[in-house]
Structure formats: structure tokens, C-alpha cells
């Protein structure tokens, strides 16, 4: 059924859903709210979250809203192979959690995300039975190899890298330039942040190299030259390709404030802007992914505001 849905129909539905995005007035009310309970009342009045939810916690209400969004996206998309690429990171989260739970002998079922590409029941049963045959081959191999690791950091690196490489391979089978541009920035972001973080923490080059993934607009051989360099030199190695001016500005600002989280936020904003520019394309996937990313950013902002109460 999903393959029969046209882009104009899907985009029409998305435009209708966008009307429910929180506006400036609601955001101000949430920021001014004295506590989480007041935030919950505001969100309930606005219709945010499942009306079946008991509105006892921000995390549950946000999760119920995103469950609805994910269901709509997956039901509407005319190109599930492309939208799935945006849900593979959810699988990465679940797999890392299950591996660490196995390592630390903890039950993590309640923390899993239901929106990944891999059926959650299948994934949990695979870990219970220690059988990975029904999972995608790259993921099965990574899980088997990660079971021998004792360092949670190494587990995270192995899983994240596998998912990124799966996305890269999938992009090779599709001609959608918009999605390729978006993920090129995501690959660059992974590599830029890995070098900055690794340099700041004094990691050996071998450890930083293990984090790098191909697929971005920056060549890996050029990125490797930035390992061990001072902050003031970094922009020289990342000022290439279609995003060179943005990368240069972001890294020059980093030399002034030394705030890595700002680098991460600005790279994420840059990737989002690529999709956002196509939010009104009635015959493409841009509006669908734009809505998904807007809702994810909305959810993240709500959680951040609630954490400060």
C-alpha cells in the first residue's frame, strides 16, 4: 500500500499535520512554566501527545507524540527505503542498549525505542536466544563481534559505524540528491566531531581513525591530516567541498569559544537546512523528512526545557 501513495497526497497530509507544530506562543508558555506539571497542562491543552496518555511525565508525553509521528511517516511515505534511513539510528540506539545491558546484566527493555527499522520484538528475541540470523547481515556480524568487547565506548563505536556504513551503502542504490546531501553532512559531522573530540582528549590517531567513516564531502585522507593539529589549524583541513564556507565559520568560532556542543548543534542545523529548503516540494520527499526532523527537534527542545525546571 505504501508504494501506491503519491507524493502530492503524502505532502498534502504532511502540510495538514504541520499546523499542529508548537508555535511561538506555546514555546513561551513552556519556558515560563514554573514546573513540569505546568508544562504538562500546557501540552495537554494544546493537544500535544496521545490523549490516552496520563500526562504524568514529559518523557512519556513526548514519546507518545513521536509514536504518532512515526506511524504517520511510515504510513504515508511513497519511498520507505529512503525514510528508513532516518530510522536506522533508532536501531543503533536499541542495539547499543541491548549489548550494554547484556554486558552489565541489566534489563533495558523499558528503555528501547519502538520506531527503528528492525522489528523490536525480533531484535529482543535475537538477544534472548543469542541468534542473529534474522537480522541484517552487517548488524548480525557487528553484534557477534561486540559480544566480545568489554568497553561500552568500543561497543558504541562499532554499532554506530555499522549503521553509518549501511546508510552509505543504501544511498548508493538511490539517486535522490536531497537525501545524499543531507547524509553527506551527517558523515562529515561524525568525522569533524571525532577529530575535535579526539584531539581535545589526546586520543591516539588509531582511536580517532576507528571513528571515521567515508561518504561525506570531505576526503578521509584529508581529515586524517587534522588529527593531532591545534584548534586554530583545524579549519584548514575541513574547508573543502560544497559546505566549505559553513565548516570554516563553525570551526573558526570553535577556536574562540571551545564549545564542542555548539559545533554539533550547528552541523545539525546545517544538515536540517538542506531538507528544510525543500519543505514545499509537492513532488519530492523533502516535506516528509522536514516534518519528521521538525518534530524530533521539537521533542528535544521540550525535554531540554523540562530538564531545567
**Model confidence at 51: pLDDT above 90:** no
Which H or E run contains 88? Answer: helix 88-104
CA dist., res. 102 & res. 5, Å (int): 41
C-alpha cell at 277: 529548503
pLDDT confidence of residue 276: 98
Residue 37 burial (CB < 10 Å; 0-12/13-18/19+)? middle
How far is C-alpha 29 from the geometric centre of its chain's CA atoms?
27
Q: How confident is the model at residue 1 (pLDDT cuts 50, 70, 90)?
A: very low
The DSSP 8-state label assigned to residue 231 in this structure reads G
Residue 4 banded pLDDT, cuts 50, 70, 90: confident
Asked if 190 and 279 touch (Cβ cutoff 8 Å), the reply is no
Q: How far apart are CA 35 and CA 55, in angstroms?
A: 14
Cα distance between residue 174 and residue 213, in whole Å:
19
Q: Take residue 207 and report the three cell numbers written for it.
A: 582511536
In this prediction, what percent of the chain has a pLDDT beyond 70?
99
Give the span between the Cα atoms of 307 and 295, in whole angstroms.
Answer: 18
Grid cell, residue 189, equals 559531522
pLDDT-based confidence at residue 175 (cuts at 50, 70, 90) = confident
Q: pLDDT at position 52, please? A: 72
Please, is 263 exposed, middle or buried when counting C-beta atoms within 10 Å of its C-beta (0-12, 13-18, 19+)? Answer: buried
For helices 36-46 and 24-32, angle between their N-to-C axes, nearest 10 degrees: 160
How confident is the model at residue 53, as a pLDDT?
72
* Residue 165 CB-density burial (10 A; 0-12 exposed, 13-18 middle, 19+ buried): middle
Number of helices (H) and strands (E) in the chain: give both, helices first: 16, 0
In the chain, % of residues over pLDDT 90: 94
Instruction: Please give the Cα distance from 189 to 224 (Å, whole number).
Output: 14
Cα–Cα distances (Å) from 95 to 59, 101, 124, in that order, read 21, 10, 9
pTM of the model: 0.94
- For the ranges 18-22, 135-139, 150-154, 192-196, the lowest mean pLDDT is seen at 150-154
The span from the CA of 50 to the CA of 48, in Å, is 7
Q: Residue 140: is its pLDDT beyond 90? A: yes
pLDDT band at 121 (very low <50, low <70, confident <90, very high): very high
Residue 6 has pLDDT above 50, yes or no: yes
First to last CA, the chain: 44
For residue 2, what pLDDT is reported?
42
Name the band, by pLDDT with cuts 50, 70 and 90, for residue 248. Answer: very high
Is the distance from CB of 251 to CB of 218 less than 8 angstroms? no
Amino acid at each position: 500500500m505504501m508504494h501506491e501513495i503519491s507524493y502530492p497526497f503524502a505532502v498534502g497530509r504532511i502540510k495538514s499535520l504541520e499546523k499542529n507544530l508548537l508555535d511561538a506562543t506555546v514555546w513561551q508558555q513552556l519556558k515560563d512554566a514554573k514546573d513540569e506539571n505546568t508544562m504538562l497542562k500546557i501540552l495537554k491543552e494544546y493537544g500535544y501527545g496521545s490523549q490516552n496518555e496520563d500526562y504524568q511525565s514529559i518523557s512519556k508525553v513526548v514519546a507518545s507524540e513521536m509514536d504518532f509521528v512515526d506511524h504517520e511517516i511510515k504510513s504515508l511515505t511513497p519511498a520507505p527505503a529512503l525514510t528508513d534511513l532516518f530510522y536506522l539510528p533508532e536501531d543503533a540506539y536499541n542495539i547499543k542498549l541491548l549489548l550494554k545491558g547484556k554486558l552489565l546484566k541489566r534489563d533495558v527493555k523499558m528503555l528501547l525505542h519502538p520506531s527503528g527499522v528492525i522489528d523490536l520484538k525480533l531484535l529482543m528475541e535475537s538477544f534472548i536466544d543469542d541468534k542473529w540470523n534474522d537480522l541484517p547481515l552487517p548488524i548480525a556480524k557487528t553484534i557477534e563481534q561486540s559480544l566480545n568487547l568489554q568497553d561500552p565506548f568500543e561497543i558504541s563505536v562499532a554499532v554506530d559505524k555499522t549503521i553509518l556504513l549501511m546508510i552509505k551503502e543504501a544511498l548508493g542504490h538511490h539517486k535522490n540528491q536531497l537525501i545524499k546531501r543531507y547524509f553527506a553532512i551527517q558523515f562529515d559531522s561524525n568525522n569533524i566531531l571525532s577529530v575535535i573530540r579526539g584531539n581535545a582528549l589526546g586520543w591516539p590517531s588509531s582511536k580517532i581513525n576507528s571513528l571515521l567513516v567515508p561518504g561525506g564531502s570531505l576526503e578521509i585522507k584529508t581529515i586524517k591530516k587534522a588529527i593531532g593539529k591545534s584548534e586554530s589549524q583545524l579549519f584548514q583541513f575541513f574547508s573543502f567541498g560544497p559546505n566549505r564556507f559553513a565548516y570554516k565559520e563553525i570551526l573558526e568560532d570553535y577556536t574562540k569559544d571551545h564549545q564542542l556542543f555548539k559545533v554539533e548543534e550547528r552541523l545539525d542545523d546545517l544538515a536540517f537546512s538542506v531538507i528544510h529548503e525543500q519543505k514545499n516540494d509537492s513532488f519530492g520527499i523533502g516535506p516528509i523528512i522536514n516534518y519528521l526532523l521538525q518534530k524530533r527537534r521539537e521533542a528535544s527542545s521540550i525535554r531540554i526545557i523540562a530538564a531545567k525546571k
